Amino acid sequence: MGYHWNWKVLLDTEPGGTGTYLQYLIVGLGWTLVTALAAWVIALAIGALVGTLRTTPYPWVVRAGNLYVEIFRNVPLIVQMFLWFFVMPELLPQELGDWIKQMPPPWGSFIPAVLCLGIFTSVRIAEQVRAGINSLPRGQRMAGTALGLTLGQTYRHVVLPQAFRIILPPLTSESMNIIKNSSVALTIGLLELTGRARAMQEFSFRVFEAFATATVIYLLTNLVVVLLMRAIEHKVRVPGLIGSQTVQAGH
Amino acid sequence: MGFDFDVIQRSWSYLFLEGMTFTVTLTLLAMTGGIIFGTLLAMMRLSAFKPLSAAAGAYVNLMRSVPLVLVIFWFFFLVPYIGAWITGASQPVKVGAWMSAVITFTMFEAAYYCEIMRAGIQSIPRGQVWAGYALGLNYWQSMGQIVLPQAFRNMLPILLTQTIILFQDTSLVYVISATDFLGAASKVANRDYRLVEMYTFVAVVYFIISYGLSTVVKRLQDRIAIIR
């Protein structure tokens, strides 16, 4: 097709002088994973909380949870990135806003990216948690009540331990999504894997070597995540249940 | 600091006539192309002919493993070469952000629509296909007249939900500097230095459209649900 491949470019020194292009991309993978992992912690914490609250018998709590989910589900991720990066510092008190804007790179884009990605993903986890809790037979809760447990105790000892084990398979796909979605952070200047592949293409003019290498790194990362999650799933599977696979829309 | 929401009024026609038109047209084209191509992929994946199902499976898994942003970059640079290869030109063909975006989103979403249609096809009892064959229908007739209409109906809510996600994801064409709704807003925001106003407005518009559409999908889901 008239394209001359030159894979040796991966061993050339990148213009920043930190090492070869290959090392440059692998450091990018490091940033991708750190961003995804930090956001994953936020997403799990908020998602588990909001998802649980949406199954409680208190209408106002449920409504507040629904509002949270609808807001962060219906705005594109890149727009949310821009809100955290460009808009939030302007709406905070002056000193705090200026302090955020003056954070040295990469922290100035890393922190908004983690917050944004964490909250974006928490909504999807909240949906999974709610679905997991609602999939339990109603009798389980009633049995809890009949045994004299309070609502809190029923959740703590009966509902949540089962629900969290049920939702593990869908969480696998969410943990891969969060890695993929972290690439959107390149739009606010975070040099993660995709951002670095793009930069490498600009510096070296080796378009397809850069993107092909990044693609292979993503595929390997996915493979590792799938194997890891499969091992965890195997460990915590609820005995006696058929593993269920659900279809859902995604990106 | 002062906010200036007039900037929205001043750039209204640029934002909507140019930007939103790009976004909506791209969404509709990619949805149509993605569902057609995705359904074909799903049929390939379920084919008994191993090389065919393996090829479709590899394509779908590749697309689903790589970030959309990276796929957008790939196609942005790849399509000119493919164009040169098809037309036999010696130089890469100039394609432009619009054509590149349409091809990218069609090819990318096809992988996601494929998985939805595959689940839809698999939800149809096998006996129906056998009944079709027993009546003398061939593969294409039983697929087209028995299986796909039901699969499509069963999966309609998920297909539409996927389309709402597609609508939101088209905003990522920002990375190739296309003038979609977000791209238009960002160009105005940077020209007039009104980032806060413009990005807040963009978020509100996306929210209203996506929320409205998902409410419609929810209603539809209740209406077309087959009572079993």
A180 min Cα distance to partner chain B (Å): 5
pLDDT digits (tens, 9 = 90+) for B102-137: 999 999 999 999 999 999 999 999 999 999 999 999
DSSP designation for A241: P
Interchain CB distance below 8 Å, B172 and A208: no
Nearest to A207 among B62, B77, B84 (CB): B77
- Residue A8: the pLDDT is 87
Q: Taking residues B39-56, report their average pLDDT.
A: 95
Going by pLDDT thresholds of 50, 70 and 90, the confidence category of residue B91 is confident
- A251 located within any domain: no
Res B228: pLDDT = 55
Residues pairing with A20 in the sheet: A13
- The token duo for A194 is 């995709």
- Nearest chain A residue to B173 by CA: give it: A78
Mean pLDDT of B190-216: 94
Is A248 part of any domain?
no
Q: How far apart are CA A237 and CA A169, in angstroms?
A: 10
**Any domain includes A247:** no
Domain coordinates of chain B in residue numbers?
Answer: 6-224
Structure tokens at A241: 């249940």
Mean pLDDT confidence for B53-77: 95
Question: What SS3 state is found at A20?
Answer: strand
Residue of B nearest to A217 (CA): B66
Q: Is the pLDDT of residue A215 over 90?
A: yes
C-beta atoms of B82 and A1 within 8 A = yes
Q: CB under 8 Å to B168, separation ≥6 — which residues?
A: A74, A75, A76, A77, B206, B210
Structure confidence at residue A9 (pLDDT): 87
| Domains contained in chain A, number | 1
CA nearest A175 in B: which residue? B65
What distances in angstroms separate CA A148 from CA A82, A141, A152, A161, one per listed residue? Answer: 49, 11, 11, 18
- Domain assignment present for residue A242? The answer is no
CATH label of the domain that carries residue A161: 1.10.3720.10
- Higher local confidence (pLDDT), A98 or A44: A44
Q: pLDDT at position B92, please? A: 85
The Cβ of residue B159 has, within 10 Å, a number of other Cβ atoms equal to: 21
Identify the three-state secondary structure at position A92: coil
| CA closest to A178 among chain B residues | B67
Query: Cα Rg for chain B, rounded, in angstroms?
Result: 21
CA distance A172 to A246: 12
- Provide the domain limits for residue A64: 7-236
Residue A230: the pLDDT is: 86
Q: Give the whole-angstrom CA distance, residue A149 versus residue A158.
A: 10
Q: Does residue A110 lie within any of the structural domains?
A: yes
Is residue A231 within 8 A of residue A168, CB to CB? The reply is: no
Size of interface A-B (CB pairs under 8 A): 130
Output the pLDDT for position A247. 64
Test mutation, B45, B63, B66, chain A, max A CBs within 10 A: B66
Q: What is the reported pLDDT for B212?
A: 96
Residue range B144-174, pLDDT digits in tens: 999 999 999 989 999 999 999 999 999 999 9
**Is A181 contained in some domain?**
yes
Closest Cβ–Cβ partner in B66, B84, B168 for A1: B84
Taking an 8 Å cut-off on Cβ atoms, the answer to whether A87 and B70 are in contact is no
Nearest to B121 by CA among B40, B218, B202: B40
Q: Is residue A245 part of a domain?
A: no
Distance separating alpha carbons of residues B3 and B196, to the nearest angstrom: 8
Q: Give pLDDT tens digits for A91-104.
A: 888 888 888 888 88
Domain B6-224 CATH assignment equals 1.10.3720.10 = yes
Instruction: Let me know if residue A1 belongs to a domain.
Output: no
Question: Does A242 score more than 80 pLDDT?
Answer: no
Averaged confidence pLDDT in chain B? 93
Q: How far away is chain B from the Cα of A235, in angstroms, using its nearest Cα? A: 25
